[in-house]
Structure 1
């Protein structure tokens, strides 16, 4: 479905033009903000956070890498003689979305089990920060994936990619 169905054509053209320029930068800012939330929670909580609570953020980062390993033109162009590239690309994207949902589920489970339902804990900030971390990282993954135009085979994202 085209963006022109939802917004004016001038706005759609502006967004498509600027998404290539500003999308990767905003995506990196979201990724950094997600990890900043988690580092802040680890530093400010004053307790030793077990490694199990780090896993949702690590899995979300893995999902970011998995989502952005696929070129968008592999998902949009179907060729009957492509030897399964169309299917493999869509299957890999499905698996990366499943990993993403598992990361969010893990952060919700950590929040509920270790912070919300446990009355002996003084603060729930590490659990909330873990949930913020995974959602920001996965938002970063989707923004970075969408900011690439179909047919970006050279890997460049802006006019300054040679630096």
Structure 2
């Protein structure tokens, strides 16, 4: 068993698995998995040496963490997050926005920070935003992210966020520091 040869065989098998398992015929995504796996960075975008890398080449945005005037984001935005924030910012009329990007690319941040900014800027009492998720597990996970962000930002301290799961009224919860 020659390690270099074995690594090459594993790399080839992983590339084939990704392309055959996840490639789609849907325009404009047709051929994109193959391009990512086999062409980007000389075929090294997915497999680098004898180990696997799942980090995708997301483009960094131009802004820093201070995109919103009243608070800073946890990390500088990627370009797609920055574009979403420009479209959804509460200092202007929000535009319909669809975000389609890879796992781990920060889709939640695309809408979470604009929603928090809107809620912070709107002084009136009452419901300011409703976020709907297709699955209870996802709603619960995202509720934790909202709660964490609210408790980390001094300017957001007065916001109250709730989670409603189920149709019988028994699933209603007020969020605390971690949920």
* TM-score > 0.5, shorter chain as reference: no
- Which is richer in strand? 2
- Which is richer in helix? 1
TM-score by structure 1 length?
A: 0.26
Q: Quick check: which has more Rg, 1 or 2?
A: 2
